[in-house]
Amino acid sequence: MTTTTETLHPPVLEPGDYTKYKIILAALGAVVPLLVAMLYFFPGLLKVPGLEVKFLPKVIALINSLTAGALVLGYYFIRQGQVLRHRAMMGTAFLLGAMFLVAYVTYHSQTASTHFGGVGLSRLVYFLLLLSHISLAVVTVGLVLFTLYFALTGQYTKHKRIARWTFPVWLYVSVTGVVVYFMISPYYT
């Protein structure tokens, strides 16, 4: 008898029609980047008077660092065939991503964006990193949600196929988030 990942590790969600989940995930994949864009173009729209958020950029950078670590460990574990540890690390990365999103939205809803004050090559590097970071962050939301969806529904072939894209993009976004933070942190007021 041959065993497969599917028989050793059954889907988390019960088999059935997953159409409603796909619709929810697609909506989230579109709404989350739109919410972030709204905060950028309409700062102060959701402002709560007296809410202190100056500490959040450090928290956001820490969350991004921890996410990168969880992603690397998750990749390591799946390469070693340790599926349960892989699941734990990827679940941790997903939870950290949710925490990041809450902290990011909270911070940017309460304060105007900080402007980078560097000049010359550092300015070019900063904006190239920031542009690639933001562009890929928009894509990451949908990639992560559908990668998780395929894992939870036991569609492991599709999960592996999309995870090959999700992992490097999500890791890049997490790492560049930290780099961008360190580059702009001297300019926070």
Residues 6+ apart with CB under 8 A from 14: none
The residue segments making up the domain with residue 138 are: 19-38+52-187
Q: How many CB atoms lie within 10 A of CB 143?
A: 19
Q: Is the pTM of this model over 0.85?
A: no
Residue 56 lies in a domain: yes
Contact (CB, 8 A) for 77 and 180: no
Q: What is the CATH number of the domain that holds 26?
A: 1.20.120
Residue 81 lies in a domain: yes
Per-residue model confidence as pLDDT tens for the chain (189 residues): 444 454 456 666 665 667 777 788 778 777 877 877 777 777 667 777 788 989 999 999 999 999 999 999 999 999 999 999 999 999 999 999 999 988 988 888 888 788 899 999 999 999 999 999 999 998 999 999 999 999 988 899 999 999 999 999 999 999 999 999 999 998 877
Residue 7 lies in a domain: no
Coil, helix or strand at residue 59: helix
